[in-house]
Amino acid sequence: MIRKRIAGACARSLRRGFAHTPDDRVYGGPKPQSPSARVTLRHLQSKYAAKEPITMVTAYDYPGAVHVDQAGIDICLVGDSAGMVVHGYDTTLPVTMSDMLTHCKAVQRGANRAFLVGDLPFGSYELSSDQAVENAVRMLKEGGMDAIKLEGGSVSRVAAAKAICEAGIAVMGHVGLTPQSISVLGGFRPQGRSFSDAVQVLERALHLEAAGCFATVLECIPSPVAAAITSSLQIPTIGIGAGPFCSGQVLVYHDLLGMMQHPHHRKITPKFCKQYAKVGDVIQQGLADYRDEVLSGRFPSAAHTPYRIDEHQTELFLKELESRGYHSAAESAAVAAEKDSAADVEKSCNVKTAQPAS
């Protein structure tokens, strides 16, 4: 019995283990992947080998992670795009390591199935490979991520990716439009539109693969360039604004769901994003309806006033209020109690009316 209780407690505490937990157990062979099982690197590699598209969506908080997880998305990316769609910045540059860890922790609590990747934010890996490894370790130890993503394919970024991989941490690369480099790129502009730029993007993707990356994001590049890169690599490519010839696709949660309709968000919503819902419209209407019902007194109605104080306790309460000189309070309480009682009688009558005759 004690062993069973200990085992149960351990199972609950390890409800969501890391995705890189070994698939091969000492006392058992590898188990087949089921729809509810944790997505691991092995699972992603199997999909890639079978030429099955890989799905990835961003999430930044517990509710978003739950939705992404329940939708069966393979990879949940905790992106530094949180700076734009959550914090309201015009770029991702202000996002800090502390910000990212807060978002990662929330997502980790909500996602039990998806493979979790956390973005290393601007300023967290550029100084040295040691800095890159230190912050990548924090992403796993503190943030609960399964892997990290970093942007760029320059010599220093490739060195950082290699150092992180050698530290035993899975790394996803990112080439093409790299939002953290907009001061150099001159804004959010598509990349690889000349033959020399296209070759550079390809070479950077190859260097990231050689450094040990398990996958690479291709952002805002022409589809022929993305097709060439995908064909050249032996690891999955995840496209965003890169056409249909990648190994998988990623979109930002708020963009694909149409979460926000205000001018700032319309300004930063990319052209390549397909809107699969208009959640923002539903939210706006719900908030407007709530405001109207509060103003008109329709909310809260009796149905949403569930807590009662019995008649005897009400009488004692009213007497106590009167004895203390709170006459107005006693009168208000008495009126409220009367309304509650009338609502209870009406509810009881409705229940009896709804019951079928015997």
| Active site positions, annotated | 219
> Which neighbouring-strand residues pair with 249?
55, 239
Longest C-alpha distance within the chain, in Å? 89
DSSP codes of every residue in 108-135: HHH-SSSEEEEEPPTTSSSS-HHHHHHH
pLDDT in tens, 303-346: 999 999 999 999 999 999 999 999 999 999 999 999 999 999 88
Q: How far apart are CA 127 and CA 131, in angstroms?
A: 6
Of the pLDDT bands very low, low, confident and very high (cuts 50, 70, 90), residue 351 is confident
Nearest residue to 202 (alpha-carbon basis) of 160, 248, 242, 150: 242
pLDDT in tens, 2-55: 445 445 544 444 445 556 554 444 444 445 455 568 999 999 999 999 999 999
∠ CA 67-110-250, rounded to 5°? 50
**313 near 320, Cβ under 8 Å?**
no
Q: How far apart are CA 142 and CA 102, in angstroms?
A: 9
Task: Give the dihedral sign, CA 327/332/350/310.
Answer: negative
Q: What is the pLDDT of residue 263?
A: 58
Q: What is the pLDDT of residue 284?
A: 92
In CATH terms, the superfamily for domain 41-257 is: Phosphoenolpyruvate-binding domains (3.20.20.60)
Q: How far apart are CA 55 and CA 151, in angstroms?
A: 19
| Token pair belonging to 141 | 């130890």
pLDDT in tens, 160-206: 999 999 999 999 999 999 988 876 666 668 889 999 999 999 999 99
- Amino acid at site 43: H
> Which neighbouring-strand residues pair with 237?
216
Q: How far apart are CA 171 and CA 195, in angstroms?
A: 28
Q: What is the pLDDT of residue 6?
A: 44
User: Would you list the domain boundaries of the chain?
Assistant: 41-257, 300-350
